[in-house]
Each structure stands twice: as structure tokens, then as C-alpha cells.
Structure 1
Amino acid sequence: MIDADIYAAAERVLTLCRAAGLTLATAESCTGGLVVGALTAVAGSSDVVDRGFVTYSNAAKMQMIGVPEATLAAFGAVSEETARAMAEGALAAAGVGVSVAITGVAGPGGGSPEKPVGLVHFASARKGGTTRHHEMRFGPLSRDEIRRRSVLVALDMLAEAAG
């Protein structure tokens, strides 16, 4: 899963975080830890990577990173609001300088007309800064490809937040 593009993006994130004196955390749902896995594939990443939260279930989102139950009830797990709450929750729970969150429908099932397979919400947060959101609609690609592309988007968002 960690191809040359992902590895290069992970190296870039680590370099930018080091330059800015930042540590990071991830909050992942549909990627199941692939983002933090990509970052930790790079030797020496332990000076930047603090932790990764794999919050696949709604209960995990609430318990581990404090996503409000009301947010999940009103907007669902796959939403801008939940992605933002995940990024901010990971930032606070880990006490790091920057975070990224990913929640989506990787398929092949589980989609709906409102939230089709390939819909992924991303958010990045920086301590003392703003939380940014990005929505991708990858379309009906394979589960592996949706997750791969999600990792790349998340790493780009981390780089932007760190830069």
C-alpha cells in the first residue's frame, strides 16, 4: 500500500513538521490507520509522529477523540462536521501541533444516494490555527484505490497545515 508517491508525500510532511517544530496525530476511519502507517514507514518519524487514532466506529470517535454524539446523530459519521470534530479532537487528545482526520465510504457497499461510495471527508487542524475541510468524491473506484487516494489527500492536507 505504501507506494513511491505515498512515501514521498509522507517524507514531505515529516520534513515540514520538523522545520516548524510540530508533532502530529491522525484520526482515521475509512483508512484504518494507513496514514499513520505511511508516516511511520519513514525511518526517524518518531520525532514527529505522536499517535494515530483509528476511530472506525462511532463509539470510538466519541470515546477516543471526543466527537460529540449530537454531531454524529445530526450529520452522520461521513460528514464535514464529523471530520472537523475528529481533527480537533485528535489535536486536543494528543496535545500535538497538527492533525488530520479522514472519514468516508470506501465501499464496495455502504453507500447511499446522499453518501455514495467514494465520498470522503477530510479535515486538518493546527494548534492556534484554523480547521480546514476538504471533500472528495472519488467515484465508484475499488476500495483499495479509494483508500490509497485518501491517504494522499490526507498527507497533502497535513503538509499544508504544517507549512
Structure 2
Amino acid sequence: MNPLADVLGLPEGTLTRVIARLRNRGETVATAESLTAGLLSAVLTSVPGASKAVRGGLVVYATDLKWGLAGVDPVLLREHGAVHPDVAVQLATGARDRCGANWGLGLTGVAGPDPQDGVRPGTVHIGIAGTGLDVATITFPGDRHAVRAAAVRVAVDLLLEHLGAP
């Protein structure tokens, strides 16, 4: 039983499978989180043995930290704002590279209640950087807590999908 996973609505055993797959492959993951402000890292590290698979994470809630810590292109941020699919991919790449991991996850979005830079609440972009780059763009209903929880669930599922069969 994992109380944090339960609160976020993650199916039983999902986090254990993620950590086990990373460990079995001898690989690691790191995060760069804006929207979720470290919630994904907290969930991943709630699993016993996670220290062998989770390198760390960057909480880049402020826009200047997205380029300063995670290495997101400041021109991209200026032209498109912080909530953009390319920002999510660059966050993922920055997390992977700066934390020395095999995989990076980057999350950006608008939890609400108000729009940000013309982007409506519930819009989430999740980037993943591993052997290649990918991004998922999803719109979630609900309040800010529901949006953040849904973003974590999708990020975990995206990583599990990219890790493939055990």
C-alpha cells in the first residue's frame, strides 16, 4: 500500500513496476517540474528502492528557473510562454542531462483556476527524454489538485510505456 499513490489515484503496483523496470535495466530517471512542483519526484521516491533508480528533480515553478536550472531556451519561453509542448520536452532533456539520468520527465501546464499566457486551465504538457524525445499534451477537467494529480498519473504511465515490457 502506498498512501501517496492512493491519494493521486495511481493503480496499485504501478510505481513499483516503474522502479523495478528502471532498476532491472540499470537506468535512472530525473524530473523537471513546473506544474507539479516536485509531486512527481515525491511519488517516484515513495517506493522502497527508488534511490537506485531516481537521480533527482528540479522544481522550476518560476519561469526564470526553467532556463536557469533546466536549460529551457529563453527565446522559446519569451515567444510561447512557459506552457508549451516544446518547453515540456526541453524540461525533460534538461532534467536528464543536468541530473545525469537516462530518462527525463518534464511537466508544465496550467492548474488553474485562471488561464496563464492565454492557455486555459487543465492544459498539461508532459515531455519525456530517453533514447528519443516525446511529448503528450492533455486537457484535464477539475480543480488544480485534480489537474496536478492527473498530470502525475500520465507522466508515470508515459514513462512506463517508454520503458516497455519488463
TM-score between both structures, scaled by the size of structure 1: 0.91
In the alignment, which of 123, 133, 137 is matched to residue 135 of structure 1? 137
Match in the other structure for 1:106: 111
Q: Tell me the distance in 2 between the aligned counterparts of 1:29 and 1:155.
A: 16
CA RMSD of aligned residues (A): 1.5
CA shift for structure 1 position 39:
0.9
Asked which structure has the greater RCO (Cα within 8 Å, sep 6+), the reply is 1
Q: How many residues align?
A: 159
CA contact (8 A) 1:26 1:90 kept: yes
Q: Tell me the distance in 1 between the aligned counterparts of 2:86 and 2:96.
A: 16
In the alignment, which of 31, 40, 52 is matched to residue 45 of structure 2? 40
Does residue 57 in structure 1 map to residue 59 in structure 2? no
CA contact (8 A) 2:32 2:107 kept: yes
Percent identity over the alignment is 34
Match in the other structure for 2:101: 96
Equivalent residues in 2 for 1:74-89, closer than 5 Å:
74-89=79-94
Return structure 1 stretches of 4+ with deviation > 4 angstroms. Answer: none
CA contact (8 A) 1:28 1:102 kept: yes
Match in the other structure for 1:116: 120
CA shift for structure 1 position 21:
1.1
Q: Tell me the distance in 1 between the aligned counterparts of 2:112 and 2:24.
A: 37
Q: Tell me the distance in 1 between the aligned counterparts of 2:113 and 2:89.
A: 25
Q: Helix, strand or coil for the counterpart of 1:89?
A: helix
Q: Give the aligned residue type for 2:152.
A: V
Match in the other structure for 2:26: 21
Match in the other structure for 1:153: 154
Q: Tell me the distance in 2 between the aligned counterparts of 1:121 and 1:3.
A: 21
Q: Give the aligned residue type for 2:81.
A: G
CA contact (8 A) 2:39 2:152 kept: yes
CA shift for structure 1 position 18:
1.1
Q: Tell me the distance in 1 between the aligned counterparts of 2:83 and 2:148.
A: 14
CA shift for structure 1 position 75:
1.6
Gaps of 5+ in 1: none
Q: Helix, strand or coil for the counterpart of 2:134?
A: strand
Q: Helix, strand or coil for the counterpart of 2:13?
A: helix
Q: Tell me the distance in 2 between the aligned counterparts of 1:10 and 1:64.
A: 27
